[in-house]
Structure 1
Amino acid sequence: MIIEYIRYVIPADQEQAFLSAYRDAAAELRGSEHCLDYEISRCVEDPASFVVRIRWGSLEGHLQGFRKAASFPSFFAKVKPFYERIQEMRHYASTDIAGAGGGASG
């Protein structure tokens, strides 16, 4: 499994269009066998900062599977207007350091 993080800075007058674009683009993510899950988070201290987190089954599944799939042009067309707002777009591997905190239920 690999985690893709995309950090954006989105001006206030574009935030609704940005969120709407990703809501629409989520259809392609949901339809991809390579995408495990995804989420968009917004920074509390700096509301113009957003992080898109996508978990892929593998780096190859993302780059060779999803990006070469017939659905990718549709996905990219939806988010492309915000491409220049990207601050970082990288893939990360999890480490062995993880766990639930004391406030986690279950």
Structure 2
Amino acid sequence: CDVNGIFKIIGGKWKVLLIKAIAKQCPKRFGELRREMEDMAQTTLTVQLRELERDGILCRQIYAESPPRVEYKLSELGKTLLPVIDMLDSWWISYKSEVK
């Protein structure tokens, strides 16, 4: 198992939170993500979204409007991460109850 490869894609402070936020309301506009991730700098948000798009987890749709509108949604590959994230959430809840 190449754990390092896994964490290159979904590791870090924000990526799993972004995946969960987009999964909850899909598609999600950039401005909505900015408001939801209020502790994240805009440049960090942009970088994280671009990395998730580059890795095939997200799809970005740009609309030629004024002002421009950008929406993000999970790719089919990104959707396969949701059960994994749910399992990690369950493990974390069990871990916290065991180790106090």
More contact order relative to length (CA 8 Å, sep ≥ 6): 1
Normalised by the length of structure 1, the TM-score is 0.31
Question: Which has the larger share of strand?
Answer: 1
